[in-house]
Structure formats: structure tokens, C-alpha cells
Copies of this chain bind each other. A is one copy, B any other.
Amino acid sequence: TDSHHSILSFSLNSFSVESEKLQSQARVIDELSTLSDSPAPAVTRILYSEKDNLARRFIKGIMEQVGLSVREDAVGNIYGRWDGSEKGLPAVATGSHIDAIPFSGKYDGVVGVLGALEAINVLRRSGFQPKRPLEVIMFTSEEPTRFGISCLGSRLLAGSEALVNTLKLAADAQNISFFDAAKSAGYNLSPDDLSKMVLAEGSYAAFVELHIEQGPLLEEEGLSIGIVTAIAAPASIKVEFEGNGGHAGAVLMPNRNDAGLAAAELALAVERHVLESGSIDTVGTVGILELHPGAINSIPSKSHIEIDIRDIDENRRNGVIEKVHKTAINISQNRQVKLSEFKIINQDPPALSDKSVIDSMKFSTEQLNLSHKFMISRAYHDSLFMARISPMGMIFIPCYKGYSHKPEEYASIEDISNGVKVLALTLAKLSLE
């Protein structure tokens, strides 16, 4: 077709590797990583913290440099827009997040935001003119660190009154409410503003996210690009046990109801029930386990654990959640502790990539002579929620040993550059459709 032909010639002219450009991209990633609350190489960037605010300003600055018109919504999703030649058409969007869980790395999310801006930069310098608008989105709080809610920004766009109600009550570990935290970062919003964020299906023509794989497959198989066909179904659960506590020397063993040991048992049960699923695709993690009062000579009177369970098969995952719930009840009975909370924070269905977006990603990869495979995303992403209102696709690039969510996370600038090229070409192609 004509549009394929014009992209093809554009790609062959503009996508040569310039080592100077690569170095400058590496510098920008490094610069963003210094906006962190933990010493390098660890990155910690928490929603509405001072460092998060500085990083937001940094991203808006680049959007302006690249020539995009910048807009921010009520919770701080940031949009950089390049108008298309045909007014009124829904935009093709791309983007990811820049928040980082405590002591994590500098590529998760960041590659999909800075890479998207670089892709736009490449397209603009090449003289490309989109038909549909192109939009880069930096989503607010993909990570659940502060308020326990993942993909906050994209969830709100996809629409959820339940989420709005949850946010009305949400508070962080310091008991700062979501609204106060937002206000302190300059987002003076009301619950009404949240409800108004919902986008109608069809608001975007397509959404594409570039991301590091966060798994070892591409590196192990020596492939450049992963074309994501589905995102696994994540669920997260908060559990609290309460016992009587007491003095570690004075309360004899038969008189105890130790909330900490209840939590320890449940953490091990999560592992057991996940393994019982029999599928390699079922994973479960207890990443948070807190004891109260937390003194060596005090029997824990309260415990709090947070559980993450995922699968590409939603029913199988829900079966594990049920088993974990039953075991929590059994533990509370056996240990005579109160199961004061067993709350499923989210229990999202999996998302499928859109066939036409997959086709565009595959076409672009082949045009650029890059090796690829189709794969499943075991981590979730803002794409999981954008898929509810838009055709969705994801581009994965290799990362060192599959490491993510830790300081050793690494993607080479060559691999990032390959991802940026595939993204640029995919956006260009989709914008002309």
C-alpha cells in the first residue's frame, strides 16, 4: 500500500545508528535516575514525593523540547501531543511510567517514556507528518507503592467508580490521604475530578507501550524485540491478623496467639498454593510483611501482609486466591488470632493485544531487520488498563538476566535504541491508518 511504502522509505533513510544520539539518550536516562530517594544505582521515586515532582518537571521539559504541546490531568498524567494532518481523528498514543518502587532500577517504565519521546523526536527530525495525532503519556503511579493501588493513572482513564471510592479513603503509611498527598504536589483535586477523568472507548485509535521485558527470555534467546500478545492477570491482597501480644519472656508458649507467626505461616502457604496450581505461569509473592509493635522482646500483636498473585489464566489465579483465603481462616482458627482483614485490593482480568497493533509492530520489526518473538507479559503495565478503552500493543526489549525491581536492572542502549525504532515505525504506521 501507499502508506506502507512511505513509511518504508522514511525508515530506511532515518533510522541509522548514530553513536552520538545513543550517548545522549543514555545520559538522559542517567539524569532522570538521579531524581531518587535512594543512593545510586538504586532508584526510589514515590508518587507525589519531591523527587517525583522534579521528575515530572524533567519530563515536561523534554516534551516541550521535542515540540509537543503539554497538558496535565487532575492526578498528574502528563500528555505531550503532536497534532496530525487530519483534525478530529483519535490519536495514536504511547507511554509508560517513571515512578519507581523502593530500591529498584532506572529502566522500568522510564524506557517507555523517554523512549517514546525519542521516537517522536526521530519522527519529527525525519520530516514525517502524522495523519492522526501522536501522543506521549506519562502515567501517574503505575507502581502501587504509596497507596497500594497500581496503575492509578491508567485505571482512572479506563473508568472505575469503585476506584474513586477507594481513593476517597486511601492513606499512605504515614496516614496522609491521597488527596492531601496530591495537593502537596500541586494537584488540588476533588473526588469529582477523578470521576471526570474517564475516557470513552475509542478516545484513542491505538495505544503502544515500550518496556523492558523484566524476564530473561529475549536475552537468553538472543532476540531484539518481544511482541506482547497478552498481559497476565494480576491480583493483590492485604491481610491483617490480630493477637494478644505480650512480653516475650513472661507469656508462656501455650498462652500465646502470635500474629507474626500467623503471617509467617500464610506467607509460606501462598508459595505452597501457587506451586499446587501445577503451572509454571502461576506466581505468588509476599513482598510486604510487617509486625506490630516490632520489638525483639514483644510478641507481635498485629501483622500485616500484602500478597501478589498472577497468572495468564484468570480462573486458575482466582483458585489460588480462594485457597489462600481458606488457609488464612484456618490459621486464624488454629492460632486463635483474629483475621481482621482479608481484602482483595485488585483482581484484574488479563488483557489481549489488538491484532492490528500486533501486525504493525511485527511489520516494523521486520522492516528494521530485527529478530523477534511473540510473548506474554507476566508483569502488568498501564497497557492492561489502556486495553479497556483502546486497541493495545506492547514492545519488549531484552534486559540483563531478566532483572527488574532491583538496582541491577539494566538494558543496553543498543537494545533501547532498537525498541525506540520499532516504536517510532509502529506509531508512524498506525498514525497513517
Contact = CB atoms under 8 A, between A and B. Distances in A.
Interface of A: 101-104, 143-145, 148, 150, 213-215, 232, 234, 236, 244-254, 258, 260-261, 263-265, 267-268, 271, 274-275, 280-289, 291-301, 306-308, 310, 377-380, 402-406
A143 B288 CA distance: 27
24 contacts: A101-B293, A102-B293, A103-B293, A104-B298, A213-B250, A244-B406, A245-B405, A246-B403, A248-B308, A249-B379, A252-B378, A253-B274, A253-B280, A253-B284, A258-B285, A260-B287, A260-B289, A261-B286, A264-B289, A285-B297, A286-B300, A287-B293, A288-B291, A288-B294
Nearest to A264: B264
A108 to B, nearest CB: 8
B267 A261 contact: yes
Can you list the 7 inter-chain pairs with the closest CB atoms, starting with the nearest? A249-B379, A264-B264, A248-B285, A214-B250, A103-B293, A101-B295, A247-B404
Given A250-B379, A287-B293, A297-B405, 4 more contacts: A247-B379, A249-B310, A249-B377, A286-B300
Nearest to A306: B296
Nearest to A275: B253
Number of copies: 2
A294 B287 CA distance: 6
Contact of A295 (B145, B248, B253, B297): B145
A359 B101 CA distance: 62
B293 A249 contact: no
A289 B289 contact: yes
Nearest to A213: B250
A251 B308 contact: no
Contacts of A287: 248, 260, 291, 293-300
Contacts of A214: 247, 249-250
A22 to B, nearest CB: 26
A292 B148 contact: no
Contacts of A253: 271, 274-275, 280, 282-284
Contacts of A301: 406
A148 to B, nearest CB: 7
B308 A402 contact: no
A404 B250 contact: yes
B294 A246 contact: no
Nearest to A102: B293
A253 B283 CA distance: 6
B102 A295 contact: yes
Contacts of A254: 280
Contacts of A263: 264
A249 B308 contact: yes
B294 A102 contact: yes
